[in-house]
Amino acid sequence: MVHLGRPDDALDLMKLAKAGSGDEVLPRTRAMLYTIEAWAQASMGKGQAMRRTLGQAEDLFVSDRGDVPAPGWMQTFKEEDLYGMQALAYRTLAEHEPGAAVHAQYFAEKALALRVDGRQRSKIFDFLSMASACFIADDPEQADRYARLALMSMGSNSSHRTWDRLREMYRLTAQYSGYPKIHELREEIKLALPRTPSKSPRARGRQQRTGIGVCTADSPSAI
């Protein structure tokens, strides 16, 4: 729900999930829930709470001994996914605290270094987190590089969430549109994005912020 602009709803869902999970839930599963909570807090500009929640997620992740098989849907939450969520949280916080962008770059780089299992969509998210963080950190050259890596990987690997993240990054390119390479990048993004405008007020608001069309959102999910 964070990517739909509803971080407060995401926080409520995470509280319910943690309250109803009990003590039998594996530390790694709880760590994943905490990273989503941290992302929601970052979206609301709550930097101190976000950092505290990410610290709890790290502690839980490290404490998981791996001696109990994880449920199937948790098999893919590995160390690189923890780093990827940390990168996303800091990239999101950087909209409120620009200094957080350097931390987003750090964690995105760590996540990308470990992405060797072929999960291309996760890599796309890391590329977009890195590109967005670089734009916020006033490094359009590096941002252009990672944005193009994301674009090259999109297509069959894309979902509504990847397109939404691309639109969020596109918004950050506006102040660099006078740079020839960034102007070219903006045109390529416009061509790549699906053209399925939604009539919902939320979608119209998102279109007005980015200046490009939006597609109907996925079925609701916590992330």
Listed range (40-54, 103-117, 198-212) with the worst mean pLDDT: 198-212
The structure tokens 């449920």 sit at: 71
Looking at residue 104, its pLDDT comes to 98
- What is the DSSP code (8-state) at residue 175? G
| Tens digits of residue pLDDT in 68-80 | 666 665 556 899 9
pLDDT in tens, 191-201: 998 876 544 44
Region of residue 155 (left: phi > 0; alpha: psi -120 to 50; beta: else): left
Tens-place pLDDT, residues 132-158:
999 999 999 999 999 999 999 887 677
Buried/exposed code over 171-210 (b: 16+ C-beta within 10 A; e: otherwise)? bbbeebeeeeebeebbeebeeebeeeeeeeeebeebeeeb
Structure pTM? 0.79
Alpha carbon distance 196, 147 (integer Å): 22
DSSP state of 216: P
